[in-house]
Structure 1
Amino acid sequence: MDIIEEFIQATDRCTEQICSMQPLEIEKQKALISWNVNQMEQMVNDQQAAIMQLDNLEKQRIHAQCQAGFSGLSANEILKRAPQPVHDRLAASFQALREAAQKLKLYNKKANEFAKASLQFLQTVSGKRVQPATRTTYSTNGAQNNGWNRGSSLKIRI
């Protein structure tokens, strides 16, 4: 198989994984609304498994990107250097990845906003100060990574 074809397929697998995570975000919102602890725990477990799978796929994508000679390049930089026969396929693959990531990020933002509102409600009802989690749901180490802009990683695992 051609090296660039492997890179395209690795990118598409990341996109597929992100798309499969979108229903998890909707389920997370439902779990938060229901206040069902068992459902919330199951969602956390499912989400952690999906994040770990995405992390592995992203590592494979980055490896394929390096093998294709695009190490450290952004999607736009790759498209400028890509040979014409695969340029359109790469552009479509990158666009699908961007759209899936943006949609997942939006779902996650809504769930986080609801979680914060729920914590504020609990604080009001209980009279105790409840602190929301400070880490991003999809961060493996709690830190922002600017690698997204350089094509090296999905921003904080979305």
Structure 2
Amino acid sequence: MHWFTDVITKQYAQFSGRARRKEFWMFILFSFVISVILGILDSILGLDFETSNKLKAGGVLQYIFALAVLVPTIAISVRRFHDRDKGGWWVLIYLIPCVGWIWFIVWAALEGTVGDNRFGPDPKAAERGGPGGFAGPGGSEPGYPTV
């Protein structure tokens, strides 16, 4: 749960730096689960909206939650692209009809750049064996990225 609360409390509108895949996907997962729970509550409490063809279109609690996490969702997405050494504007690729969201998901799922990049230090450097992010098979030989 700390993946979600840290982004909401400590990095609410932090667009600089890098975000690991785990941080990004855990935030997305918790947001999705909370949204589903709020959708169920909206239905139980009669707070959901119906469209002209009787489809459910979310509810009051879901919309309030969506507005509350809009800025941190954009911020963590920008930091995730920074980890791939891409500018934050690449987040807008999501707006391309039909294929944009697929491209966005693929890029968000790919490994970040190993070592420092123009957006900051490698957030996985300690796990990879030091500041450069490289360690040999035994952990001491330079030149081999650890997995």
TM-score by length of 1: 0.32
Determine which structure has the larger helix proportion and give its number. 1
TM-score by length of 2: 0.33
Relative contact order, higher structure (CA 8 A, sep 6+) = 1
Determine which structure has the larger strand proportion and give its number. 2
